[in-house]
Structure 1
Amino acid sequence: MSGLSADPGLIRIGNCSGFYGDRFGAMREMLEGGQLDVLTGDYLAELTMLILGRDRMKDPGLGYAKTFLRQLEDCLGPALERNVRIVTNAGGLNPAALAEKVRELAARLGLEVRVGYVDGDDLTGRAAELDLGSPLTANAYLGAWGIAECLEAGADVVVTGRVTDASVVVGPAAAHFGWKRTDYNRLAGAVVAGHVIECGTQATGGNFAFFTELSDLGRPGFPLAEIRADGSSVITKHEGTGGAVTVDTVAAQLMYEIQGARYAGPDVTARLDTVELAADGPDRVSIRGVEGEPPPPTVKVSLNTIGGFRNEMEFILTGLDIEEKAALARRQLESWLPERPAELDWTLARLDRPDAGTEEQASALLRCVVRDPDPNKVGRAFSSVAVELALASYPGCSFTAPPGNGSPYGVYRPGYVDAAEVSHAAHRPAGCQVLVGGPSETRELTEVPEPGLPEPLPSGPTERVPLGAIALARSGDKGGDANIGVWVRTDDQWRWLVHTLTVDRLRELLPETATLEVTRHVLPNLRALNFLISGLLGAGVAYQARFDPQAKGLGEWLRSRYLDIPLELLP
C-alpha cells in the first residue's frame, strides 16, 4: 500500500483542469473545498499539442503548459500541507523541463517537494522508422503505470507527457490499491471514472443539454471521483459548490468524444455498454458494473504537422437578394485573384430574416477560407483583393474584419504503432529511472454486435417538435471525426428513439453528414445511441474545416431538428 489515502478501501481523486486555459483558480478551489487525496489536471488536447509544438520550435526549453506552473506557485504549499498528491499531463512535449521548473519553484518557496515525471511518449525522432511520416509532433498515448511507479516511490507531484486523459486518475488508483496489470475490470472502472472527471465542469452541469433544469450553474464546482478497490466509483463535487452531479450530467460526459461500445486505451479496453449509473444521494452518482478487456495490440499516436497557411475574409450581406449578392462577390473575388490558392472554400450563413427590425437581423455572412503551402498566395494577395471589392461589388458591401496576413494551420491525424515499440520511463523523485514496458496481453479491437432491441413503441398520436424535447445530447471531436451521443430518460422514450434515430434518419436531420460514413452504436444501459461521423472535421481541429471545428454544437443542432414524436413521450 502506497499511502495515497488514509482509507485503504477508498481514494478521492479530483480534477482542476479540463483543458489548457480552464479556470485558473480551480486548483485552489479544489484544495480548499473539501477532502482530497489526489488532484489531477488535464491540459492536453490535439490542438494543444500543436500549440506546444510551435512553442518548442521557438524555444527548445518550452513545450509544457505554463499555466500549471503559475497555479502551482499559489497552491504547492497548501497541497503539501493537506498531503494531496498532484498528477498532471501539463508536461506536454517536455515533461522533464516542467519537472525541473517545479523543483525550482519549490526551492524558491522554501518547500521540500518530491517530483516525478513520465516520458517516453515522444516518438518524433523515430517517426520515419515507425512509418509515421515527418510530423512536427508524434506522441504516443501512454497509460497509467509510469504514474503509479512515481507515486509508489513517494512523489508529491507527477508530471507527464501525452498520456490518455483517464490515466492521471487510473495511475493513482492502481498505486493505492496495488492493482495488477491484468485487473481489467478494476482498471476499466477507473478509466470510466477518469473519463467522467477529465473535462472538469462538463461533469457538473457545464455544456449540459437540459441546463435550464439546474438551479445553480453560475460557477459549477469541479468534479471528483471516490474510487473503491473493486473499481467502482462515486462521482461527486465539494459541498457548497455550484452546478450539479446527476445521472444525466455524468452520462453527458460519459458520451463525450467516444467512438463505440469499446473504449480502448493502452492499459485496458473498457466496455461502455456495461456501465451502470445510479443516483447515490444529492450530487452523488455511482458507477458500477464496468467490464474490462485486454488492451489492443497497437498504441495510438497523436501526429501533428504544419499543413500550410490559411486566411479568411467574411462579407456582410444585408437585405434583399442575398443569394445573388453572394454569387457576385464570389465571382468577382475568384476572378480578381492573381493566383488561385490550393483550397478556396465558401460558406453562406443565412442568418437574415425577412422584414427585420434591426440591420443585424437583416444580414447574412459569406465566408471565404483559403489554404495553400505558399504563404504569399493566402496573405495580402488574397485579403487585400477581397477588400478592393468594397466599392465595386454588391450594394452594402462590408466586412467583419480588416485584411490580414495568412497564418500557419495544423493538420492532425492519428497513427498506430505496435505496443511493444512504446515503453515509457518513470523518473522517480530520487532520480533513478524505471522503464515501463507494454502490456503482456492484448486483444484485437472488434465492433460489439448490436444488442437485441426492445419492441417498438405502438403507434399513436404524435406532435412535430424538436428532438430535444425529450432527448439529451453531447458531441465532440475525435481528430477529423465527430461523435454525437444521444440519450433519453425513460424506457418508452428509449423504445421510440432506438427505432427512430437510425443512421439514415441522422443523415436526413444533419445534411452535412449525408455523404460521410456514419456508424451507430447502441448502449442500452444508458438508453443511449452514439454516432461516429467520419471526416466531418477534415484534418482535425486546427484545420478548421467548418465553423464549429470541434463539433461542440453538433449535438445541439441535432436536438433542434423537428421530428414527429408520440404525444405520450412528451413532458
Structure 2
Amino acid sequence: MTAAPLRVGNFSGFYGDRSSALREMLTGGEVDVLTGDYLAELTMLILGRDRLKDPGAGYARTFARQLEDTLGLAHEHGVRIVTNAGGLNPAGLADKVRELAERLGIPVRVAHVEGDDLTAAYPGTLAAHAYLGGFGIAECLRAGADVVITGRVTDAALVTGPAAAHFGWGPGDHDQLAGAVVAGHLLECGTQVTGGNYAFFQDGDVRRPGFPLAEIHADGSSTVTKHPGTGGFVDTGTVTAQLLYETGGARYAGPDVTARLDTVRLRQDGPDRVRIEGVRGEAPPPTLKVGLNRLGGFRNEVAFVLTGLDIEAKAELVRDQMDAALAKAAPDEVRWELARTDRADADTEETASALLRLVVRDADPEVVGRGLSGAAIELALASYPGFHVLAPPGKGSPYGVFDHVAVPHGAVDHVAVLHDGRRIKVAAPQDTLPLAEVPEPELPQPLPVARTRRAPLGHVAGARSGDKGGDANVGVWARSADAWRWLAHELTVERFRELLPEARDLPVTRHALPHLRALNFVVTGVLGAGVAAQHRFDPQAKALGEWLRSRHLDIPEDLL
C-alpha cells in the first residue's frame, strides 16, 4: 500500500475490441495496471453456447492471443494485467496463460477469482452469474499476482480491485471506493471516453482514438487521460458522455459500494486531462445482482425491398400475400416493420428504397424455418413490382433472453485463487444499505426566452444511450450553463415521450444530475428481453440518443 498515484489503463472495452490495444498501451507511456473488459450480457450468452459445445471453453480466446507477443513486454515493464476475459471459465483461462508463460519462458504469476457461477442453481439457464466486486482481485494482487483473471465481476471492479490493493482500502472506505468506481466506469468501455461514439465527434480527430488511462489518488479522486500522441481527445464532454452511459439514477450501486453520481465534479485539467473529484460513496446494497442468460427460442427474418412509388400499397400487398403462410405456421410472435428509408426523386436506387422487415419467433425451429421464409421467395414473380429481398431465406436461428435476480451476498462463495494455489475466501460486506431513490435535486432558474427557432435538440445538447437488460437509458447533457437552465425545464418526461414516440406507452423515469448539467432517462422495457432477443431495429439502444438529438423543438435563439 502506498500514497503514490496508481496509473490504470484499459486495453479492451468488449469482446472483439482492437487487438493491438494491449501492445499500444504497454509501449505508449507509463502505466502500472492494465485492465481488459470483455464481458457484456450478450457475451455471456455467446460464451454459454461455447461451453455447451466444449466444457473446457467459456472464456475470451482473443485475450490469450493478445498475450502471445505482449506478455514479455508487460513483465519487462512491471505492468500488471487484470481482466474479466475468464468469462464462464476463469480457471481454464488462467491455466492457458500459465501454459503460454511457460512456453515463452516468462516467469509470470497468474491468479484468478471465482464464485460468480450460479448456473447450477438456476435450471434452464445457459449462464447464471453474480456480479462480484473488486476485493477478490485485490487479494490476488496483494499476494503478488502479475495477471489476474476473473469471471463475472462488475466492470468497475477491474479498477476498484487494483486501487484497493494499492492504497490499502477496506470495505468501509466508501468515498475512496466510489471514486474508483467512477474511474472504472469511465475506463470500462475503452475509447468511448477518448472521443469514440461521441455526440460532438467533430471536435477532434477520432479516426483512431487512443485507449484511456486514469491516474487514481489515495482519496479516490482521479484524472482521466490517454497516452501522449494517440488519437482522439479527452474533455469534460467525453467524460460526461461515458459517465452517463448505461446508468440510471443518482445512486450507482455495486457489490463494494454505492457511488453517488450526483456528487461527481469534473474539471478540465489541461489538454486531454479531466479531473474527477468530490465523489461520495455509501454502503452497498444487501444483495448482489445475478444475470440469467437462457435460450428464448428461434427467430427468422425476411427483409423485403420496396422501391420507388406506392411504398405503402406495396407493403400492404406483400403482407396480405404472406398471411396464409403465417396462419399455417402460427409462430408465437409475428412483427412487421416498415422503415421508410426512401426519398422522393432519389438519384440512386438504394435511396429510392424502403425496407419492410418480417420477424417471426417461436420455440420450435421448424415453425420459423425455411418453410416460412420460402413462402416469401415464392412471391418473387407474383407480388409488387421490383420485388426482391436483402438475403436468401435460411433456417431459424436461436436467440437469447436476459433477466436478472438478486441474491444475498452470503449466497455467493467469492474466492481469490492465488498464484501459489492458496484459496482466500472474500468476506461479504458487513455494512449494507438498501437502495432508495434520491429526491429531485434543486434545478436552476428557468432561462428567460425572448425568441425561439425550430431546430434539432442536438444543436445544444449531447446524448449517449445504452442497454441494461430490457431497459435503455438516454443521458442528455448541456454544453453551457444557459443551455442547462433551458434543458432542465424543457426536457420533461412528457416532452421526451413526444420526441420519441416509441416510449409513449412505456414507463420513463427522469433523473437530474445538476453538477454534470445532465438528465438521465430510463425507458423500461423498450428492449424487450434484452439485446440477444433482437427485439427492435437497434437492439442495444446505441443510437437512441442520436435519434433524440435529431428531433426538432423550439429552442431559444440565444442558444443557437
The answer to whether structure 1 residue 353 and structure 2 residue 343 are counterparts is yes
- 1:22 equivalent to 2:11? Answer no
**Correspondence list, 1:129-528, <5 A:** 134-214=124-204, 216-337=205-326, 338-528=328-518
**In structure 2, what is the Cα distance between the partners aligned to 1:412 and 1:324?**
37
User: Is the 1:334–1:340 contact (alpha carbons within 8 Å) kept by the matching residues of 2?
Assistant: no
AA of the residue aligned to 1:76: L
Q: Is 2:106 the partner of 1:117? A: no
Query: Separation in 2 of the partners of 1:352 and 1:383?
Result: 24
Question: Who is 2:523 aligned against?
Answer: 533
Give how far 1:263 is off: 0.3
Secondary structure of residue in 2 paired with 1:324: helix
Question: Does residue 563 of the first structure (1) align with residue 557 of the second (2)?
Answer: no
Q: Could you report, residue by residue, the CA deviation over 1:376-407 in whole angstroms, capped at 9, with x for unpaired residues?
A: 01110111111111111111111000111111
> What fraction of aligned residue pairs are identical, expressed as a percent?
68
In the other structure, the counterpart of 1:85 is 80
- DSSP-derived class of the 1:57 partner: helix
Q: Determine the C-alpha separation between the residues in 1 that align with 2:319 and 2:342.
A: 19
* Contact 1:193–1:235 (8 Å) recurs in 2: yes
How far did 1:453 drift?
A: 1.5
CA contact (8 A) 2:325 2:372 kept: no
Q: Determine helix, strand or coil for the equivalent of 1:188.
A: helix
CA distance in 1, matches of 2:542, 2:376: 30
What SS is found at the alignment partner of 2:488? helix
Q: Count residues with an aligned counterpart.
A: 559
Which digits, 9 at most, give the CA deviation of each residue in 1:415-438, with x for residues without a partner?
111122123110001111011121
Offset of residue 9 of structure 1: 2.1
Aligned counterparts of 1:259 and 1:490: Cα–Cα separation in 2: 23
TM-score for the superposition, normalised by structure 1: 0.97
Specify the alignment match of 1:58 in structure 2.
Answer: 53
Aligned partners of 2:373, 2:528: CA distance in 1, in Å? 23
Q: Which amino acid aligns with 1:300?
A: K
Provide the TM-score with structure 2 as the length reference: 0.99
Deviation at 1:336, TM superposition (A): 2.6
Offset at residue 334 of structure 1 (A): 2.1
- Supply the AA of the counterpart residue of 2:102: A
CA offsets per residue over residues 229-282 of structure 1, 9 Å max, x none?
A: 000000000000000010101111001000111100000000000000001111
Distance 1:244 1:531 in 2: 26
Kindly provide the amino acid, as one letter, of the partner of residue 21 in structure 2: A
Task: Quote how far apart the aligned CAs of 1:207 are.
Answer: 0.4
Separation in 2, partners of 1:34, 1:490: 33
1:46 counterpart residue number:
41
- In 2, Cα distance between equivalents of 1:209 and 1:439: 39
Deviation at 1:466, TM superposition (A): 0.2
The one-letter code of the counterpart of 1:135 is T
Question: Of the candidates 100, 107, 113, which is equivalent to residue 105 of structure 1?
Answer: 100
| 1: CA distance, partners of 2:164 / 2:507 | 38
CA contact (8 A) 1:423 1:438 kept: no
| Structure 2 residue matching 1:169: 3-state secondary structure | helix
| RMSD of aligned residue pairs (Cα, Å) | 0.8
Query: In structure 2, what residue type is equivalent to 1:565?
Result: I
Name the SS of the counterpart of 1:569 in structure 2: coil
CA distance in 2, matches of 1:241, 1:55: 36
* Residue 546 in structure 1 maps to residue 541 in structure 2: no
SS in structure 2 at match of 1:135: coil
**Structure 1 portions without partners, runs of 5+:** 2-6, 128-132
Letter aligned with residue 344 of structure 1: V
